[in-house]
Amino acid sequence: MTAMKITSVEIVPLLVPFADSPARQFASSPTQRDNPGILVTAVYVHTDSGPTGFGYTSQIGSKAAPAIAAYIREELAPTIVGANALAPEALWQRMWGPNKSRMRGGLGVQALSALDIACWDIVAKVAGLPLWSILGGFQRDVPVYGSGGTPNYLDAELLKECTYFANAGITSYKFKIGDSSVYEGHSSDADRIAMLRKEFGGDFTLYADANQRYTVSQAIEASKMLADFDIAWFEEPVLCDLLSDLATVAAASPVPVAAGENNYMRWEFREMCTKRAASFLQPDPVLCGEITEFRKIAHLADAFGLSLCTHLCHELGASLVGAFPSGHSCEYYMQFPTEMWTNDFIPLNGRVTAPDVPGHGLELSDAARSRYGLHP
């Protein structure tokens, strides 16, 4: 079979509560502490003679889901209805081409990402193969690192969260640094890192994430402190848009730089690679232009000898990171409640396993759709 017509695109917006966390709060910054949940825009791409593909995109700390749903419905879906579902590259171009001016990043690319995931899901289902195998099949089991450690955590909360991951067999942990606005009553970054290193030992891997908080000079100075504690990477030390600044930090930092969660498309990642601005690439699977773009970013990582990770989305990330030799790890943020998906994506012994089913294996449960669906 070489052709299968797309008949319709169904859009399902949801407001999903955060998963229960061993730490008290779930946020990347203090402004998100009272956020009610994750806004998810799910899509189903239906075909005339084959399977339905599922895809989604999501936002934390945003109310943009209705805008994304409208953009998919009014702009993107009409470009692919009637087209061949088994030609994902052609479908991506049909959506991107007439929308170039609105596809520099942000909500436009997020909307495209949701549909692209669904289109690749169809291709893998028709082939009767798992997505990770279709894309390359390098490894099915992918390491995860525990993630959290927001600046507003008290020391005890930081220890509690890291201990949770360690007890689950996860041997690496990422925490935030650089937000002095919340340090009243908290230890300094150096004190917090020293505490973690003392508690978990030299063989436990620690990653530091600045969430773009530093200037170049501040980042270079911070990198020296991080090196003293054998931190394995320094994530987003400066603004993600300033790749020349990121490259300056990377050249001076004794700690490898990681970046990419706020970058879009192969072109931004190509510049990141050619400038040697990062050693670890971290595209977000539901934001970066999705599978069509993710695999090109993965090939860039292979070509430049860099390591490939994912930002969030370990459920989908296992199939993507595991497909390529450059694959390093997936971020495990405990984002969605366990009832969100029909398959279980809880890591075992520090690794997440890509589903051995046709497609990407990510299916929204009936309970989640009923409980969290937003109705106009």
pLDDT, tens only, 338-370: 889 998 899 999 999 999 999 999 999 999 999
* Overall residue count recorded for the chain in this entry: 376
CA of residue 50 relative to chain centroid, distance: 29
**Model pLDDT for residues 302-316, shown as the tens digit of each residue:** 999 999 999 998 999
Contact call for residues 268 and 287 (beta carbons, < 8 A): no
How far apart, in Å, are the Cα atoms of 24 and each of 48, 175, 334?
47, 14, 13
Answer yes or no: is pLDDT of 30 > 50: no
pLDDT single digits (tens) 124-139: 999 999 999 999 999 9
- At residue 338, the pLDDT reads 84
Q: Which residue, 5, 113, 116, 112, is CA-closest to 51?
A: 5
User: pLDDT over 90 for what percent of the chain?
Assistant: 75
CA atoms of 331 and 28, how far apart (whole Å): 14
- pLDDT at residue 31 in the model: 41
Give per-residue pLDDT as tens, 81-110: 999 999 999 999 999 998 887 877 788 899
Per-residue pLDDT reduced to its tens digit, 222-272: 999 999 999 999 999 999 999 999 999 999 999 999 999 999 999 999 999
- pLDDT digits over 175-234, tens only? 999 976 555 556 789 999 999 999 999 999 999 999 999 999 999 999 999 999 999 999
Dihedral angle, C-alpha 101, 106, 107, 108, nearest 10 °: 30
| Residue 289 confidence (pLDDT) | 83
171-185 residue pLDDT tens? 999 999 997 655 555
d(CA 10, CA 111): 13
- Phi/psi-derived region of residue 285, left when phi > 0, alpha when psi is between -120 and 50, beta in every other case: alpha
**By three-state DSSP, how is residue 158 classified?**
helix
Are 45 and 62 spatial neighbours (Cβ–Cβ below 8 Å)? Answer: no
Q: What domains lie within the chain, and their CATH numbers?
A: 6-128+365-372 (3.30.390.10), 133-353 (3.20.20.120)
Cα–Cα distance for residue pair 83/95, rounded to 1 Å? 11
Which pLDDT score, from 0 to 100, does residue 332 have? 95
Distance CA 342, CA 348 (A): 17
State the burial class of residue 36 (Cβ atoms within 10 Å of its Cβ: 0-12, 13-18, 19+).
exposed
Tell me: pLDDT of 169 over 60. yes
Beta strands in the chain (DSSP E): 6-16, 38-47, 53-60, 141-147, 172-176, 205-209, 233-235, 257-259, 280-281, 307-310, 327-332, 351-353
- Mean pLDDT within 52-64: 86
Mean pLDDT of the chain: 91
What tokens appear for 72 in the block?
């998919």
What is the pTM assigned to this prediction?
0.91
pLDDT for residue 32: 45
Confidence of residue 25 (pLDDT cuts 50, 70, 90): very low
